[in-house]
Structure 1
Amino acid sequence: MKSCGLIPIAAKEFTDHLCSKNFLLIAGILVLICTVGLIGGLSDYREDLDEYNERLSVAGSEEGPGFMSERPSILSIFVSIGAQMSVLGAILGIALGFDLITKEKESKSLKQLLSHPIYRDEVINGKALGSAAALLLPLGAVLAVAFAALLIFGIVPDPTEFSLILVFGAVTALMILTYFSVALLMSTVAKNSGTALIYSLIVFVAFTMLVPVATNDAVMETVIGEPPELPTSAYLPDIQSTGDEKMEVAVRAIDTESAEWQQFREARREYEERRGAVNDLLSLLSPSLNYEAILGIFGRVSASMTVTTVMQNGGGSVLIGDAGSVDPASGVAGVGMNVLALIAFPAVFFGLAYSRFMRLDIR
């Protein structure tokens, strides 16, 4: 006779979390802090919108220097929420997963549970399903508060913004489930809950701190070499000098037609491509960096930006160019690998936890 224990186990796990003071405390703190981030994001958005309307009224249809050509987007509000979610969401996921199996082993209830006509896979799947449902409740509450706040302020998302907000909710859920899956794996590997928590925190620190360190300048220069130096022969004579008692800055022009400058620009382009490829590869190894990369498109979708790259060589500064605005569709496509990585992380870690639990020696 086939067992039907999946749903009852999932329902019990879900109910147990809702009745847990620890879960309610952490979830409440998450919602509260994200609400504070939401308020800050709304304030910044209103200021940007007022500035945009002021410039629009002054400039009319003519776009002069410094004119903000794109209307501020409400997506910047969700960047503020995401900044809080990237840490607190991970902590919530770890808090729900680190003792999911170990507490059953420590209380000897797992052996008693498996003595009933129930399959092992239903136990691990039911516990994971119930916990995942509980994890999504605080996220749903944050999104509900965000939409309510937007409507209160008379802000209605357009179809593109609404779609990207749904993307934000989905990738945030994947990020939280990733750390839950890590903690679940550690709960199946460790002998007790304390050890499982330590293992989970070590993985969290590795993902959020050690991997980003691997992308800094010192490591990159060790891996792919130092960037090419700007040749001094590419400079034209100084054309302007300004200064005061504390600082003097020499503004130097670049002879962009010189052969040295052309060679430098090509070498710089190749160097940046190599560095970008290594950086992207390393970033894919961290759920947090993938999440931040995806959040980056929310801050760039409706922003007109001028990019200035400063090259320290002879005290000069070089204006490289205008980055312009980012199209939403191309922005999402540009982080496709990051999205796939976020999907893969919880699948891989849960798969490992599932495999370990199925071979677990219950005594």
Structure 2
Amino acid sequence: MTINKNNNLYAFSILVKKEIADHIRSWKFIILLAIILLTCVASLYTALQALKNTAPAPNDPDAAFFFLKIFTTSDGTMPSFHLFVGFLGPLLGICLGFDAVNSEFNGRTLGRILSQPIHRDYFLNAKFIGALTVIGVLFTSLILLTIGAATLLVGFPPTFMECNRLFLFTLLTIVYVAFWLNLSILFSVRFKHTATSALVAIAIWLFFTVFYPIIINIVAKAVQPNPYASEAEIMQYQHFMLTIMRFAPSQLYSDGTSMLLMPSIRSLGPLHMEQIQGAIPSPLPIWESIKVAWSQLVALIACTIVCFATSYYLFMRKEIRC
């Protein structure tokens, strides 16, 4: 029994290594990686220029978190680092997953792979684990390179608290990109042609990136309370708008990164006047920021699990019917 288990684990590791090698050697990954590197270098340059030319305010609670500002500050010519990652990260996930399964069907290689003494679910698990490993190594290396370059340029390293927040930011970024990876794998299982799965995944990304904010603005104008509304009505309106905005994965990621990279933010929702009066502007401890951003992280993980479970179910049914 132990021999069979070890053989299965060895076969699974071979599949994962094959997927990692295929992704690294593919032109689509190399081109998208070059775009991400160039944009992140540009955002790092603009952030350092903005921080060098702007003196910190005397009452700024984030003044002590210089390295966190590198990832959130821009001089206006280009978006900041975390905005670039939030925009291009889904494209990387879609790029790695849109042809994960249907390309094997079309190339008639799936039967050869499953004819080996391995479990059928190992194939789909290896597709996900291999792509997730590439994503994790890529963004971890990218953020470490950014910290290293900034350390060489400014002359001092980040603090321990800054490192903790950047580690959590890296983890949240990997989870966010993993959601789009699982969504593209789901379409790769569902649709026979790779072009169809890629177009559907990109269409959903464009909808939540471009068109969903437009729909939200239209809804906001339609249900906006009158200027003489009570505080309770205004709070109810703001809570409603925040709820429907968080149906977009990009909004969940934006809320989470704001809490982790901007310690002065104390809440992601509207506050009553009683909560604001007497509050001293100071950065939140890291555990308090995690508590506020925890629901966003759990929502992204839940969406990722749902997509993977659906693709797993469809793949196993397709295999049973073949």
TM superposition score normalised by structure 2: 0.83
Tell me if 1:98 matches 2:95: no
Query: d(CA) in 2 for partners of 1:114 and 1:299?
Result: 45
Select the residue among 232, 240, 244 that pairs with 1:282: 244
Tell me if 1:18 matches 2:27: no
Please list, as runs of the form range in 1=range in 2, the aligned pairs for 1:136-285 lying within 5 A after superposition. 136-152=136-152, 153-216=154-217, 218-222=218-222, 225-230=223-228, 267=230, 269-285=231-247
Q: Which residue number in structure 1 is paired with residue 274 of structure 2?
A: none
- Counterparts in 2 of 1:69 and 1:344: CA distance versus 1, 3 Å: closer
Unmatched tracts of structure 2, length 5 or more:
73-79, 267-276
Kept in 2: contact 1:297–1:328 (CA 8 A):
no
Query: d(CA) in 2 for partners of 1:272 and 1:335?
Result: 24
* One-letter amino acid matched to 1:273: M
Kept in 2: contact 1:183–1:200 (CA 8 A):
yes
Kept in 1: contact 2:102–2:189 (CA 8 A):
yes
Query: d(CA) in 2 for partners of 1:44 and 1:182?
Result: 37
Q: Counterpart of 1:215 in 2: which secondary structure?
A: helix
Q: Which residue number in structure 2 is paired with residue 334 of structure 1?
A: 292
Kept in 2: contact 1:31–1:138 (CA 8 A):
no
* One-letter amino acid matched to 2:225: P
Listed one character per residue, the Cα deviations across residues 140-191 of structure 1 (whole Å, up to 9, x for unaligned) are: 2211211212321223222221111111101111111111111000000001
Query: d(CA) in 2 for partners of 1:303 and 1:289?
Result: 16
- Counterparts in 2 of 1:303 and 1:119: CA distance versus 1, 3 Å: closer
Query: d(CA) in 1 for partners of 2:34 and 2:226?
Result: 51
Kept in 1: contact 2:260–2:290 (CA 8 A):
no
Query: d(CA) in 2 for partners of 1:227 and 1:114?
Result: 60
Q: Which residue number in structure 2 is paired with residue 28 of structure 1?
A: 34
- Counterparts in 2 of 1:335 and 1:69: CA distance versus 1, 3 Å: closer
Tell me if 1:71 matches 2:63: yes
Query: d(CA) in 1 for partners of 2:20 and 2:192?
Result: 24
How much has 1:99 moved relative to structure 2? 0.2
TM superposition score normalised by structure 1: 0.74
* One-letter amino acid matched to 1:348: V
Kept in 2: contact 1:178–1:345 (CA 8 A):
yes
Kept in 1: contact 2:224–2:237 (CA 8 A):
no
Q: Counterpart of 2:63 in 1: which secondary structure?
A: coil
Q: Counterpart of 1:327 in 2: which secondary structure?
A: coil
- Counterparts in 2 of 1:105 and 1:339: CA distance versus 1, 3 Å: same
Q: Which residue number in structure 2 is paired with residue 43 of structure 1?
A: 49
Kept in 2: contact 1:31–1:141 (CA 8 A):
no
Unmatched tracts of structure 1, length 5 or more:
57-66, 231-263, 305-319
How much has 1:14 moved relative to structure 2? 0.5
The alignment's C-alpha RMSD in Å is: 2.6
Listed one character per residue, the Cα deviations across residues 51-91 of structure 1 (whole Å, up to 9, x for unaligned) are: 23xx76xxxxxxxxxx5565253212122211111121111
Query: d(CA) in 2 for partners of 1:70 and 1:176?
Result: 28
Q: Which residue number in structure 2 is paired with residue 85 of structure 1?
A: 85
* One-letter amino acid matched to 1:71: A
Query: d(CA) in 1 for partners of 2:238 and 2:232?
Result: 10
Kept in 2: contact 1:90–1:179 (CA 8 A):
yes
Query: d(CA) in 2 for partners of 1:150 and 1:355?
Result: 46
Q: Which residue number in structure 2 is paired with residue 119 of structure 1?
A: 119
How much has 1:285 moved relative to structure 2? 1.8
Larger radius of gyration: 1
Listed one character per residue, the Cα deviations across residues 36-65 of structure 1 (whole Å, up to 9, x for unaligned) are: 1122222222334xx23xx76xxxxxxxxx
How much has 1:215 moved relative to structure 2? 3.0
Q: Which has the higher helix share?
A: 2
- Counterparts in 2 of 1:44 and 1:359: CA distance versus 1, 3 Å: same
Query: d(CA) in 1 for partners of 2:147 and 2:224?
Result: 47
Identity among equivalent positions (%) equals 23
Query: d(CA) in 1 for partners of 2:132 and 2:245?
Result: 25
Kept in 2: contact 1:76–1:298 (CA 8 A):
no
Q: How many equivalent pairs are there?
A: 295
Tell me if 1:7 matches 2:13: yes
